Structure 1
């Protein structure tokens, strides 16, 4: 059986490739973003009258993990994303992401590794090739978070890639820039970060301290209690990863096996 899937007109875009480094395929979810002034006179930014498809379920799974695993803060849950599909030789020219999107945002890389170049002044060496202050590798499966001066002061670009690559950039829209008719995804609301191991232990300790105490179960220590394990002598402390403490007059000796 052949399944036919209909998508909004501006969800998928495959510009005509007329020179090296031009025309990567893009798929936008949540909102339609205009990179530059278009033929209708719309300035760069979110187009409020151009509907696109909502975020797919699989991408929501990624968003939940980005928040729960402390990659993005729970105050900045993405509600839009753009998929960039690169063929060999495709690139992204120098730019700063529009402030219709709040900070931080992030990019996840797939299929192959490439570099992203940052700098306040990026040089175009030749079509599709750029140089700047610093180049950061983006391995497969890596996540790069943009925030602070790296998102607002320095420009960034992706020089022409050497093999097929896919990246997904997850961003949260400024609420004042929401497209007409946009409604937040209910299953992305109220996401919280998972506690670190130390925080989890601390919460468990605090919760135990609030447990009721059975005073009748506390008895004076005697030989019988020791045998029953009710008030056993605590074991000798263990020192992991460092030397055991010794008498105060003990000297430390350094052994040199090179001589």
Structure 2
């Protein structure tokens, strides 16, 4: 078991939804959190306040991680604030769902940039610091859609499937260094985005899940904590948190 107290984590998209749950669960385990957000500063500031309320340490940094300069600044800010980076959680993501016939080049490129290219941007600048850690962890939040596909989600599926291939390849390269690289593939999780679906659509999704319910952001966050704390001999893997929807 790895002691997480006083380790430092960057969580991209760390102020809302799954990212917020990850930030909070890591903080509960003594990790100092750098919360990345792109917009809605007030939400990020509230997340920092919530973590401080439980006795944790957190710092919010605005950055569009699909922009390499912003990603570089994010890592620099983390090091300036806390002196190190031990954990990188690549969670930032967006959807622009359209059937392929209606999918614009802009919608294709934006989803690939935010969901996949951002991971290169953050990892490339964070890696030297992760290599200095005695417990370097890279955790990429992929999706069941990257494994099984999704109607009207060619752009999102391509990005999330790309994350899985990226995870396996980088894990091979870094295995001897002790830095582990893993992907978490959530199924349908009860976030604001999912909750906003029409009721009949949501009921149809839940009916296909063997456990007959949505997952919670906290269940995904628990997977992140597990990989950080107990995952020293786990690398290049996909941790499926989906209620049995994809096996």
TM-score band, normalised by the shorter chain?
A: under 0.3
- Greater share of helix residues, 1 or 2? 2
Structure 2 length-normalised TM:
0.25
> Which of the pair has more CA radius of gyration?
1
